[in-house]
């Protein structure tokens, strides 16, 4: 392989003449833009402990009224990517949001797509496109690009959830913006996970003769996800992933365009090697105690902790309990990578 020419090798006057005309020579930067074999990665394997986040989020609840925050969120920012850029991985934004008794986070819509994964508290809700979606521990709520959404709570409790957004990509495209609107009129009926899409394999018959809706199911209750993982675990060999993908029940495809969502069960004492692949990911621990080994970093996790896995990382997760299963929620950018045609798994 020949050595590429450096910027210093070029006459100063020549480089200046280029700069003046907004031109740049490629070859001094080619290897940085297209490294051989593996991408250049700044993302660090990172753990955000819930015991560090929780008290500071409550403090934010005292310091900043909801009216002054609009969304009261502490962002899990990867130190390798610059905290100010608010990226857990290059494509995944993660925040922890608090709503206190009696508060509402006002109605808005935006170009990034978001999901909410409930961490703590009962009685919360999000209204999406007129549908009131209950939020209980472990429930996944979708707020796709362009749909109105507002949050609130009807209990005495605080409610805390994890926000995952494709914001870094939409922002990089200079396409990120929001609109505010009046509070939505709520349709007085159960959400679709309780009526139209109760069981996998069954969809409303009328869907067959229509264009399939882009976002038919906006809520995935944890109780059914957990029960499904437990059932799957009975037919899955140890060391093989007990993992379920959240999909669009009308199309069988991933439920959001950029980010993908799945739930993982680790049986007592089980160790799972995650696929070595091109996607980055974030894990949130629903319950359990264990360790993640990511590219040589050892991170000890427990209930509600969150961790970042860089692209192309070698990662293993271990349930350190010998008696209890562990349950994890995964966010990754595989859907976008697949659509762009470069998703890879390495053996
Ligand atoms: O709740 O709509 O963490 O718009 C960041 C941006 C949450 C939200 C975030 C948002 C929201």
CATH number of the domain encompassing residue 248: 2.60.120.10
Beta strands in 102-153 (DSSP E): 104-110, 114-120, 124-128, 131-135, 140-143, 149-153
- pLDDT of res. 4: 92
In terms of residue numbers, what domain contains 207?
A: 40-346
How far is it, in rounded angstroms, from Cα 264 to Cα 226?
9
- Confirm whether 21 is domain-assigned: no
pLDDT digits (tens, 9 = 90+) for 177-220: 999 999 999 998 999 999 999 999 999 999 999 988 899 999 99
- Confirm whether 126 is domain-assigned: yes
Q: Please tell me the distance between residue 223's alpha carbon and the centre of ligand 1 in angstroms.
A: 25
Which residue has a Cα nearest atom 9 of ligand 1?
Answer: 163
Q: The tokens of 49 are what?
A: 């402990």
Residue 267 beta carbon below 6 angstroms from any ligand 1 atom: no
- Answering whether pTM is above 0.95, one says yes
Q: Please tell me the distance between residue 110's alpha carbon and the centre of ligand 1 in angstroms.
A: 9
Residues of the chain with pLDDT under 50: none
Residue 112 beta carbon below 6 angstroms from any ligand 1 atom: no
Of 161, 164, 163, 165, which Cα lies nearest the Cα of 98? 161
What is the strand order of the sheet 93-99 is part of?
73-75, 93-99, 159-165, 114-120, 140-143, 219-220
Of 167, 19, 12, which Cα lies nearest the Cα of 89? 167
Q: Which atom of ligand 1 is nearest to the CA of 93?
A: 3
Q: Which atom of ligand 1 is nearest to the CA of 75?
A: 3
Residues in CB range of 105: below 8 A, 6 or more apart: 66, 70, 71, 72, 97, 99, 150, 151, 152
- Give the CA distances from residue 127 to residues 116, 131, 134, in Å, rounded to whole numbers and listed in that order: 12, 5, 9
Asked whether 344 and 338 are in contact (CB, 8 A), the reply is no
Q: Please tell me the distance between residue 127's alpha carbon and the centre of ligand 1 in angstroms.
A: 13
- Confirm whether 44 is domain-assigned: yes
- Confirm whether 8 is domain-assigned: no
Say how many domains are in the chain.
1
Residue 163 beta carbon below 6 angstroms from any ligand 1 atom: yes
Radius of gyration of the chain from Cα atoms? 22
* Residue tagged 């093989």 (tokens): 240
- Confirm whether 23 is domain-assigned: no
- pLDDT of res. 1: 60
| Residues paired with 93 in a beta bridge | 165
- Confirm whether 209 is domain-assigned: yes
Residue 75 beta carbon below 6 angstroms from any ligand 1 atom: no
The helix/strand/coil state of 236 is coil
* Residue tagged 């470069």 (tokens): 342
Which residue has a Cα nearest atom 6 of ligand 1?
Answer: 71
């Amino acid at each position: 392989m020949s050595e590429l020419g450096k910027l210093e090798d070029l006459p100063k006057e020549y480089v200046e003449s280029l700069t003046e005309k907004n031109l740049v020579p490629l070859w001094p930067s080619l290897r940085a833009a297209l490294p051989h074999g593996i991408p250049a990665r700044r993302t660090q394997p990172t753990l955000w402990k819930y015991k560090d986040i929780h008290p500071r989020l409550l403090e934010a609840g005292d310091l900043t009224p909801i009216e002054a925050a609009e969304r009261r969120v502490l962002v899990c920012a990867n130190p390798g990517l610059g905290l100010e850029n608010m990226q857990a991985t290059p494509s995944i934004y993660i925040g922890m949001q608090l709503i206190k008794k009696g508060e509402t986070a006002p109605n808005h819509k935006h170009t990034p797509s978001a999901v909410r994964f409930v961490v703590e508290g009962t009685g919360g809700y999000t209204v999406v496109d007129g549908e009131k979606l209950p939020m209980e521990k472990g429930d996944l709520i979708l707020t796709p690009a362009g749909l109105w959404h507002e949050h609130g709570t009807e209990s005495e409790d605080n409610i805390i959830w994890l926000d995952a957004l494709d914001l870094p990509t939409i922002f990089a495209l200079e396409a990120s913006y929001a609109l505010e609107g009046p509070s939505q009129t709520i349709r007085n009926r159960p959400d679709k996970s309780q009526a139209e899409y109760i069981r996998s394999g069954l969809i409303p018959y009328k869907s067959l003769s229509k264009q399939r809706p882009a976002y038919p199911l906006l809520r995935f209750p944890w109780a059914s996800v957990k029960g499904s993982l437990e059932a799957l675990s009975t037919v899955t060999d140890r060391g093989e992933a007990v993992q379920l993908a959240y999909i669009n029940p009308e199309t069988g495809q991933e439920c959001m365009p950029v980010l993908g969502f799945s739930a993982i069960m680790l049986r007592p004492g089980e160790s799972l090697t995650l696929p070595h692949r091109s996607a980055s990911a974030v894990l949130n621990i629903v319950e359990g105690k264990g360790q993640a080994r990511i590219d040589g970093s050892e991170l000890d996790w427990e209930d509600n902790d969150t961790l970042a896995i860089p692209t192309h990382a070698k990662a293993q997760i271990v349930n350190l309990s010998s008696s209890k299963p562990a349950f994890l929620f995964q966010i990754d950018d595989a859907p976008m990578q697949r659509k762009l045609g470069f998703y890879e798994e390495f053996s």
